[in-house]
Amino acid sequence: MSTELHTLSGAFVLDALSPEEAEEFRRHLQGCEACRTEVRELRAAAARMAASEAEAPPAALRARVLAAADRQPQLPPKVTTLEAARTSRRHLLARLGAVAAAVVLIVGGVFTYSQLDNGGGSGSVTAAVSQVFSAPDAHTAVVNTRNGGRVTVATSHRLGAMAIETNDLPKLSDRSVYQLWAIHNGTFTSAGVVGDLASGQRMALPASGTTVAITVEPRGGSQRPTSKPIVQMDPEQV
């Protein structure tokens, strides 16, 4: 396995990888504790930034930025080979992740990363989901589904929460949605509909003896499951 994969944690957290690269990195995460730790730390930093209050930047900031840009010398474009360009792109993504992490720590409460607020955003897990995955006591697992996809699950007793990344589930038609269920003593209770596969879903950590299932339901969700679960998980086994 290429050692370059270890440099892509920041780009993965920022959703800046291509689908093929993201899939390769997810497989890498299953066997690399160091990268899993780095991803959790970067997600935690992004979640803290999303939770901070936005403040107006200093009035002089714009003038300083424009003045610095004016002093920057303009260099002629460089011509490079296709292979060199691909390698350069990977290094650029790695540097982008490192810079993003530094910006989170330095800027803090001045700016807010709007895609990671509690409302979520297309193409990025929500801050609420990231918070569970980055919790100090988080336990995670990757579970395959019966319809050819998979979900990544995290539980945190400290937060009393369970989160599910759903971006690896197959896309459904506009007439169908994925719905989560808590199952206790054979009774199904809806735990929410997945509105955006890229945003994931968070729910309260179920009580002991309760399992969590996902079904495919008509758009808008159902009061009771209308299909067999594509996956059923025991949070205590995560």
Domain boundaries of the chain, sorted by first residue: 3-69+83-116, 137-237
Q: What is the pLDDT of residue 22?
A: 82
Sorted by sequence, the CB contacts under 8 Å of residue 165 that are 6+ apart come out as: 125, 129, 133, 151, 152, 153, 154, 200
Which stretches of the chain score pLDDT less than 70?
Answer: 1-3, 46-124
- Determine the Cα–Cα distance for residues 64 and 62; give it in Å rounded to an integer: 5
Q: Which one-letter DSSP state was computed for residue 110? A: S
Residue 58, both tokens:
């200093």
Our measurement of the distance from residue 62's CA atom to the centroid of its chain's CA atoms, rounded to an integer in Å, reads 32
* Predicted local distance difference test score (pLDDT) of residue 52: 56
In 3-state terms, what secondary structure has residue 222? Answer: coil
Rg of the chain over all Cα atoms, to the nearest angstrom: 21
Q: What is the pLDDT of residue 70?
A: 63
pLDDT at 98: 57
Contacts of 145 (CB under 8 A, 6+ apart): 151, 169, 214, 230, 231
Topology (CATH level 3) of domain 137-237 = Immunoglobulin-like (2.60.40)
Between the CA of residue 24 and those of 15, 21, 75, what are the distances in Å? 13, 5, 35
